[in-house]
Amino acid sequence: MLLNDSGGGFFLKLPMGNTSKKSFHWGRWIAVGLITIVVLWFAQQVILKPVIEAVASKVIGARVTLGSFSLNIITHEIHITDFKIYNEEGFPPQLFFDASEILVDINLPEAMKGVYHMPLVVFRLDKMIVFKNAQGKLNVDELKIVQEKLHEKKKGPMPNFKIDVLKLNIEQVVVEDDGKTPPVIEAYDLNLKDKTILNVNSVPKLVGLVLFEALKPTAIQSAGMYAATTLLGVGFLPGLAIGVAIANDKASADMPHSSGQVYQNILQLVQRLGRVKSADNLAEKISAKVYDCDISIEVDDQGWGKSKITIKARKYFLPKPEIAAGLLYQLKEQLK
């Protein structure tokens, strides 16, 4: 600070040191950084995300939506959440493919040249619902990518595409047969964790792998399964790959609801779908006939507003775990 007299009186002169200049310098760079982050986010969510949804919808042949899309230009990682595919005309207008997360490690310099090389892809499929309509057609069979394989349509040169390592995770597959009254719903809990597949060299082969692993436990004989096996170059006999231990005839789950609420809802469900043979409201046990299967249900109070339900299903003394799991799936949907 200087005290100066210029003839008109004294005044103070405060020196502008390097500190204020440096503060301004860093503040400017922080502002630029924040603006860059906002612009990149805008480009990914507002520009890239709709483009990817449109391209995926065209390739697959059904409406595709993404929850979010992000690309890290430093680590070359793509993160996609809530990848969903919806039924087309002729099937219930609802979700049939729900992947909560897809992680992709991609070689960006090669991708800029049109070579899509992915050292690692992690795919998490939470649920796939296979619908069979009144005409006996399956929604997976009507996908454009399946129909093109079945009719061997040539679409010109395929993009240069390769996944070195695919880690596939599938939680559950639900099969809904709307050709029957009431509709028969079966559920298969795959709980497939990080199944490693090497050298996936095309988009149709990637789709084929997911369809193959998802449909395999259901023993469904479908055009989609046929297309998947031909895409993969393997033979497959559906009846030999049930994927469920035949000694297990039950499905059970811990429920975030009181035993009374669960009991009343499962009772209403089996009354709607079949015939209740006996119901013990005090012990919360039910015996019923649903989908021509003998059903036994027990609900146990776990305290603190929680419960556990166990559903057993048998047909001609043979275990039908997919029917038990299907009833449990419908109960959960009803309680949402």
pLDDT tens per residue, range 260-296: 999 999 999 999 999 999 999 999 999 999 999 999 9
If you classify domain 250-335 with CATH, what class do you get? alpha beta
Chain segment 76-131, per-residue pLDDT in tens: 888 999 999 999 888 888 898 999 999 999 888 887 788 889 999 999 999 999 99
The torsion angles phi and psi of 247, rounded to 5 degrees, stand at -80, -15
Burial of 297 (0-12, 13-18, 19+ CB in 10 A): buried
| pLDDT at position 38 | 46
pTM of the predicted structure, to 2 decimals: 0.72
pLDDT reading at 218 higher than 90: no
- The three-class DSSP label of residue 50 is helix
- CA–CA gap between residue 229 and residue 138 (Å, rounded): 17
H-state helical runs in 154-222:
203-215
CA angle, corner 128, sides to 123 and 129, nearest 5?
170
Q: Residue 291: enclosing H or E segment and its boundaries? A: none
Per-domain residue ranges for the chain?
Answer: 40-240, 250-335
pLDDT reading at 152 higher than 80: no
| pLDDT at position 307 | 94
